[in-house]
Amino acid sequence: MSNGDQYKQLSQRGTFTSKPVEYGRSVLGAPLFYFPAQSHSPEAGLIIAGTHGDETASIALLSSALRSIEYSKLSHHLILSVNPDGNQLGVRSNANGVDLNRNFPVNNWDPSGTVYRWNSNCPERNVRLSSGHCKASEPETQALIKVIEHLSPKFVISFHEPLACIDSIDKLGLGERLSDLFQLPLVSNVGYETPGSFGTWCEQICLPNVTLELPAISVDDVTQQYLDAAMQLLTQSRF
> Helices (DSSP H) in 135-218: which residue ranges?
139-151, 174-182, 198-204
Residues composing the chain: 239
Is 55 assigned a catalytic role?
A: no
Single-letter amino acid, residue 84 = P
Exposed/middle/buried for 167, CB within 10 Å: 0-12, 13-18, 19+? Answer: buried
Q: Is the N-terminal amide bond of 42 cis, ω within 30° of 0?
A: no
Q: What is the DSSP string of 36-105?
A: PPSS--TT--EEE--SSTT--HHHHHHHHHHHHB-GGG--SEEES-S-HHHHHHT-SS-TTSB-GGG-S-
Torsion of CA 229, 77, 47, 96, to 10 degrees: 140
- Kindly name the residue from 138, 140, 161, 213 that is annotated as catalytic: 213
DSSP code of residue 7: B
In a 3-state reduction of DSSP, which class is residue 21? strand
Nearest-angstrom CA–CA distance, 53 and 89: 8
Residues tagged active-site: 213
